[in-house]
Amino acid sequence: MALEEKREKRPPVTPMMIEEEAALRNGSRGLPPGPWAEAAGPRPRTTERHIAVHKRLVLGFAVSILALLAVTMIAVLLSVRFEECGAAADGPPRAGGNGSLSGAARQPPGRPEEEEEERGGEAAVAAEEEEEEEEEEEWQRRRELPPWARPRLPRHLRPLHYNLMLSAFMENFTFSGEVNVQLEVHNASRYIVLHAHRMHIEAVRVAEDKLAGGVRVARSFLYPQTQVFVVVLNRSLEAQRSYNLKIIYNALIENELLGFFRSSYVLHGERRFLGVTQFSPTHARKAFPCFDEPIYKATFKISIRHQATYLSLSNMPVETSVFEEDGWVTDHFSQTPLMSTYYLAWAVCNFTYRETITKSGVVVRLYARPDAIRRGSGDYALNITRRLIEFYEDYFKVPYSLPKLDLLAVPKHPYAAMENWGLSVFVEQRILLDPSISSISYLLDVTMVIVHELCHQWFGDLVTPVWWEDVWLKEGFAHYFEFVGTDYLYPGWNMEKQRFLTDVLHEVMLLDGLASSHPVSQEVQQATDIDRVFDWIAYKKGAALIRMLANFMGHSVFQMGLQDYLTIHKYGNAARNDLWNTLSKALKRVGKSVNIREVMDQWTLQMGYPVITILGNETTDNVIVISQERFVYDSDAKPKDPALGDSSYLWQIPLTIAVGNTSHISSEAIIWVSNKSEHHRIPALEEASWLLGNINQTGYFRVNYDIRNWRLLINQLTRNHEVISVSNRAGLIDDAFNLARAGYLPQNIPLEIIRYLSEEKDFLPWHAASRALYPLDKLLDRTESYNIFNEYILRQVASMYLKLGWPMNNLNKSLVQASYQHEELRREVIMLACSFGNKHCHQQAATLISDWISSNRNRIPLNVRDIVYCTGVSLMDEDVWEFIWMKFHSTTAVSEKKILLEALTCSDDRNLLNRLLNLSLNSEVVLDQDAIDVIIHVARNPHGRDLAWKFFREKWKILNARYGEALFMNSKLVSGVTEFLNTEEELRELKNFIRSYEEGAAASFSRAMETVEANVRWQRLYKEELFQWLRKSLTH
């Protein structure tokens, strides 16, 4: 019944189309429809008298007709053979066993027919190549690129609906498919150009959407340069008409991370396999021929045939399942809403699941390995998903659009997760959680990834960016709502007001302070440009700009604007101007007139960010001078666009400002700064008063002051830090360290600021200090005078370490929410103490490790296990490393596996570090997505930095082949290995390496070069200044 209904929904099929389809499947040489086919059919009889009168004439005519028919038959046969050869592109062999093969493929080898077919095929291919060359030369004469050579698909066609039927052969990791695409023609053309890559095309057909018969295919071919499949027709498709395109193909279920790929896991000593898809941004074309650009939204009807020992999943629920006698089953899924190709998804696996249902009736299931489901490792994710769907439906006032949402936990995946509509895929480490062995920080990671992916069901799936230049429209919103949604689940954690600063704002400003940065909206011309837009600029800067926008608009007006935006554009595409216009209208409704587009274009179309400098005016009371310039770490670095110097940058800046003294701070005022330099009158600015800009760090910029104001702020923090908000205390620390690193401030100012930390009881300023100290530590950790810096930091940490002590074993789950801030503060202080060599911290870590080894019972508190493991491996002998290595292999808990693997990188033994680096490329030992983290963590270890750098250069070809297509995995690797190189020799090595391997990751290497140059420059200009101050400070 399902099959019949599906066929009824297809475009009407003529008998001739059915015959031609049979001919294509069976390898026969039937006549195509057309006038010559009619000439070969039966003709009306003539009378005997008529024949007698014209006997000779008729005989002559008949002979002529027969000769003509013979010639026509030969021509048609050659043409059909030519067409099939043209349609069959290079690719993997057709799946055996359960897949049908072409007639030629079924012939036994060595037969004359096969040899003749091969000779004919070679001749046809040669003729086709010659025809292609002639056609390309014709386009060149016209001074145009042919439609298949252009970076974007031609606009004359639009897909309306895909009917996709797949057969997955998990025993040999191949699949076959048949896709029927209903096309709408906007402008007449004889070319159909759509994406297809790394597949073998068996047959292609084109038919009108009426009973008018097929459209003759002259030839078809794959064009790998632009990853497209081209169908050349004998006549043009007519404008304003609909046609059906059918393509039969097969391909491999790849052993990689993109397209339709395979993964595996071990259960009861048996290795089991699964197949899953990852199509974003441009990999749907590896799984089926399609119009693989976001703007081409269509509906999809999927059917998947697989062995009955597996189950299949897709975006929509299963409508019907048809079981066959040979142990196979075909699942027919419901039709999707309008959606982009890269959100389509399917999986073939033998997982089990648990489910829950939201208040609005959405069925939520979590699928995972049977042992993980049995242990309840997915229960936390399942429960918060139900709550979050209800939260988003209420916040956006737009219901979740599908009847179900499946969460799929897979062992191998290139990213933390992918938000496929109705079938979100997560790597196990970011969704499975065992409360008995998971820390608060791990629980937070899992929570925020789920919050992020669920936001995408609205920002991304429902409303999709028109093109990749505005990918931040979905990624920025999802990243911002990680913090808003987590605040809904855990109101006491203050994620959006506090943790956002250290985890997003401060982190992305490091990257965006490079001259080699790029705008959050950047031009994307071709497929090779798409991967580079998926970086922290799109995610984290996008989120920071959205947060700034929400704050100066007011959160309630901002929320109202988002509701309008989603309602207007649901099931469609939108660009940034659509968002700006909707938000401007929301402001108008509450009586405010701000041109959002004018303001935000400066922030999204310019790279970098400003540093605001506030100076007291010594000649005029209560007047300050506010200036803006682009912040860059290395003023000597060449700008990405030489025509646009740093002096050309200008922003409209919503600067909030307050005046304070020893006991009180005024309410904030907002000043819109739009010029290079401005004078503003500030009331109540007395002699002992200090100024504070960017209140609660809601703006995306840094603030610098004159030295007098910095001294007043340092004095305030020392005397009574609570007058300044927690967010601004963290902001002052981060701004000071980074302004000093870039040369805007003396090197001692940030180190003087953190002296007050011994009295700081809030987590956020400690976290900001820890993150700001980390890069400074890496700049100094191989210098002769490092122990001076080390001693200074230990002095600042010592008293708080003694006050807080160590946590009790296995923190009760019910205390997680109430104690989050306190436990995270204690963890931060213990980490700093152990990292900088506090003797008690080292002894405690060694004792806990020894107890675990001797008793084989792990009593190490959950929230500090990673610190203890790392410290133990670095301090103790090789037996401890081998013990951790054994535990890494034996544990099945993904959270524990992750921190055990990272602990192995902490060793001081260079032989062990080299061994680990070499093992990281063995996929049977270390999962592909984890190998990058191993290499990066070894590079962060001062004993392994040069080893990781050497390993990276020697294995670059392997690493680039493995990760080159996987969005920002390559850029993460390049950055992680090079960011702390800081000697002249390492800079020369980097330059030589880049010259040798220019292909791949060009933008990442450009950033790496600038970072290392800035590190070398800092060493040359500021290192000795810092050490001189430290020596003086430690003697007092």
**Residues annotated catalytic, as ranges:** 453
What are the residues whose beta carbons fall under 8 Å from the beta carbon of 722, sequence distance 6 or more?
none
Helix, strand and coil percent figures for the chain, each rounded to 5:
50, 20, 30
- Quick check: 893 and 911 in contact, CB under 8 A? no
Q: Which pair of tokens denotes residue 1001?
A: 């990751």
Cβ-Cβ contacts under 8 Å for 598 (sequence gap 6 or more): 652
- For 695-719, give one letter per residue: b (16+ CB within 10 A) or e: bbbbbbbbbbbbeebbebbbebbee
What are φ and ψ of residue 465, in 5° steps? -55, 145
Structure tokens at 443: 């629980």
Neighbours of 882 (CB within 10 A): 12
Residue in the structure block whose two tokens are 């995408």: 456
Contact call for residues 816 and 443 (beta carbons, < 8 A): yes
CA distance 147 to 142: 13
Residue indicated by tokens 């982009």? 340
**Vertex 285 angle, CA 284 and 288, to 5°:** 85
CA-derived radius of gyration, the chain? 33
Please name the amino acid found at residue 528: T
Name which of 354, 371, 460, 360 is nearest 407 in CA terms. 354
* Torsion angle defined by CA atoms of residues 445, 450, 451 and 454, in that order, rounded to the nearest 10 degrees: 160
Instruction: Show the tokens assigned to 475.
Output: 């990624």
3-class state of residue 602 by DSSP: helix
Q: What is the 3-state secondary structure (H, E, C) of 125-164?
A: HHHHHHHHHHHHHHHHHCCCCCHHHCCCCCCCEEEEEEEE
- Per DSSP, the residues of 224-289 read TTTTEEEEEEEEEEPTT-EEEEEEEEEEE-BSSSSEEEEEEEEETTEEEEEEEEE-TTTTGGGTS-
Burial of 139 (0-12, 13-18, 19+ CB in 10 A): middle
Q: What is the dihedral of CA 383, 388, 391, 392, to 10 degrees?
A: -150
Q: How many C-beta neighbours within 10 Å does residue 70 have?
A: 10
Please say whether the dihedral angle defined by the alpha carbons of residues 78, 84, 86 and 88, taken in this order, is positive or negative.
negative
Query: 948 with 935: CB under 8 angstroms?
Result: yes
CA 25 to chain centre: 39
Kindly write down the DSSP assignment for every residue of 69-116, as one continuous string. HHHHHHHHHHHHHHHHHHH--S-PPPP-SSS---HHHHSPTT-HHHHH
Taken in order 901, 905, 910, 914, is the CA torsion positive or negative? positive
Longest dimension (CA), the chain: 132
What are the helix (H) ranges across 292-369? none
Residue pair 577/736 in contact by the 8 Å Cβ criterion: no
Name the residue type at position 562: L
Q: Which of 577, 476, 468, 478 is nearest to 533 (CA)?
A: 468
